[in-house]
Amino acid sequence: MQNAVKQDEEMIGAIYNLIHDITQMSCNIISHRMFSSAVVAAGDEDEKVLDKSLWIAGTYGTNTQKGFAGYKGHAAGGTIGFDIGSDNYKDLVGIAYTKLDSKFKSNGSRANTNIDSHIVTLYGQKELPKNFMIQAMFAYNHNIVKSKSTV
């Protein structure tokens, strides 16, 4: 009985780590979007224009964890976002939606776990005086975890 409880605790810990990794993938995509601001090239005019962008990014990753609570798995999905920027994206506000499907199989075929993730993110950045910039991101995750165990 005690061994079964320990296995369950380790499995829950592994699932938590997976969900954390999924959230981090989504945040990395949006952070990349904010950090890739455009600059004015030679010959271009620096106009105060309100720029609107619709963008999409795909995601695919594989995971392996060794040990007693080890697993192998993959995650696939994508992010679609819309943002409005001014002054060549120095000031930016946007919203993004990420959908990821993840499948994991534990070592020894004890359990299979499917995670259906939906992440909505609000993000923005503002240029401040003296070349300072502030950036913020708020994400809401809804994960549906389905596990099947074999004894």
Q: Where are the alpha helices (DSSP H) in 51-110?
A: none
Contact 120, 95 (CB under 8 A): yes
Measured distance CA(108)–CA(126) in Å, rounded? 50
| Residue that wins the pLDDT comparison between 60 and 19 | 60
pLDDT bin (cut points 50, 70, 90) of residue 21 is: confident
The per-residue pLDDT for range 44-87, each reduced to its tens digit, is: 555 555 688 888 989 888 877 777 667 788 889 999 999 888 87
Q: What is the pLDDT of residue 133?
A: 86
Q: What is the pLDDT of residue 44?
A: 53
Q: What is the pLDDT of residue 49?
A: 59
Measured distance CA(48)–CA(46) in Å, rounded? 7
| Residue that wins the pLDDT comparison between 34 and 124 | 124
Count of residues for the chain? 151
Three-class secondary structure of residue 135 per DSSP: strand
Contact 127, 112 (CB under 8 A): no
Given its phi and psi angles, is residue 131 left (phi above 0), alpha (psi -120 to 50 degrees) or beta?
left
pTM greater than 0.75 (yes/no): no
The per-residue pLDDT for range 80-139, each reduced to its tens digit, is: 999 888 876 578 899 999 999 988 887 766 678 888 999 999 999 888 888 888 989 999
Q: What is the pLDDT of residue 65?
A: 75
- Residue whose token pair is 């952070």: 31
